[in-house]
Amino acid sequence: MEEVLYNIEISTEGRFYMIRIESDIGGFREYRASSMEDALEKLVADLQTEVDMFPSGGLEN
C-alpha cells in the first residue's frame, strides 16, 4: 500500500528560496532562505527531528 508521508514544494520568490512542507505529524511549515543550501539545511533538520520522534523511523513493517 502506498502512503504519502510528506508533500514538499520548492520554489523561488525573487531572491529567496521557499520550501513548503506538509505532513500528518508536523502539519504545514514554510522555510525561506537566501540560498538553496540554507533552505535545504532547515528542511533536513526539521525532517530529522520528526523522524527521531519515532523509534522505528515512523514506519510500520
pLDDT in tens, 36-56: 999 999 999 988 988 888 766
Degrees (nearest 5) of the Cα angle 47, 52, 53? 105
> Rounded CA gap, 49 and 32, in Å?
19
Question: In this structure, what are the phi and psi dihedrals at residue 42, rounded to the nearest 5 degrees?
Answer: -65, -45
Find the distance separating the first CA and the last CA of the chain, reported in whole Å. 12
Average pLDDT over residues 15-19: 96
Q: Where are the strands (E) in 1-61, listed by range?
A: 6-13, 16-23, 27-33
Domain ranges of the chain: 6-52
**What pTM does this model have?**
0.74
For residue 57, is pLDDT > 80?
no
